[in-house]
Structure 1
């Protein structure tokens, strides 16, 4: 029950931001670098990063880190295609994993303690989904047991993994993670983060 990977989704176009939010500066580094360092400092192995829009600008930011970078050519079809890209690599390159955490590059207040807490809760309870709870929302970062990998692979559109969370709502363990409420979608969100 100990082998848990991490998939960081960073393929979006940042339409509401008007520029690549993955490259916004936070605490001296870009949001994408910050997310990668957080993942690498956690107990999750491997760390996989899914890129799409702006890949030529974002990839150089994280090339030096020991992470697996995947380019999702179908990023325009929505978040599910990035989950599919990540899970496909997990299933082929890391078949021994017990579970995977799906996280976003634009939740900068998430730290390695959150990822470790999700893993620890999984090891203790063996729930098939361990999800973050914040502002009356159940969302990511969230851990999914390997029994759900095929269903994660088959998701479609921009709903992400929420479809599965609804389907298995009676089997989800939620952990209160107020930091997950901060995600950077608009210039206003970024201003609030900097003032935090």
Structure 2
């Protein structure tokens, strides 16, 4: 079965005022942490870039991931997802499942990504859960691709997950998940070793 992972790293980091994809943690950028975990769990890894493209491409070029530059990244997260899914389908027409991962969630473990893939045939959508937070990383079956391709704006795939609630499998994680969106988040991350 052909499967791929889409890492979202296109955002402009408005709240942080600097590229969060390139923040350092344990000697690597957040994007490097993400790529290093993902490439061990899937054959095809793609990274959607947008803002800070030149700096972000330097990190991707030294990895096994393929960059996908989204010129309209300002249109939001949903726009980046639909762009990335469309690009993967064009490059890998045989792809059956795509995992969507955020570049700014460094505490997501490789073992959690593996656990998601392990159950990827049990439902059309596999989502992660930490405590009461549900969402990405998530795996979407080919049957859901048409809905992902319709995404626009900054909403992401929450509505698609809601609309397909009978076709979802949840993988819980004991490991803390959080996005690094602010300086406070980054300080919190730096205190976790």
* TM-score bracket relative to the smaller structure: over 0.9
| Residue in 2 that maps onto 1:134 | 130
| Residue in 2 that maps onto 1:161 | 157
TM-score, length-scaled by structure 2: 0.95
Consecutive unaligned residues of structure 2, counting only runs of 5 or more, are: none
TM-score, length-scaled by structure 1: 0.94
The alignment covers a number of residue pairs equal to 192
> Could you tell me how far apart the structure 2 residues matched to 1:162 and 1:178 are?
22
Change (3 A) 1:180 1:55: farther
Whose helix fraction is larger, Structure 1's or Structure 2's? 1
| Residue in 1 that maps onto 2:36 | 37
| Residue in 2 that maps onto 1:71 | 69
The CA deviation at 1:190 is 0.7
| Residue in 2 that maps onto 1:23 | 22
* Contact preservation (8 Å) 2:108, 2:177: no
> Could you tell me how far apart the structure 2 residues matched to 1:3 and 1:114 are?
20
Partner SS state of residue 120, structure 2:
helix
> Could you tell me how far apart the structure 1 residues matched to 2:84 and 2:9 are?
11
Partner SS state of residue 174, structure 1:
strand
Query: RMSD between aligned alpha carbons?
Result: 1.2
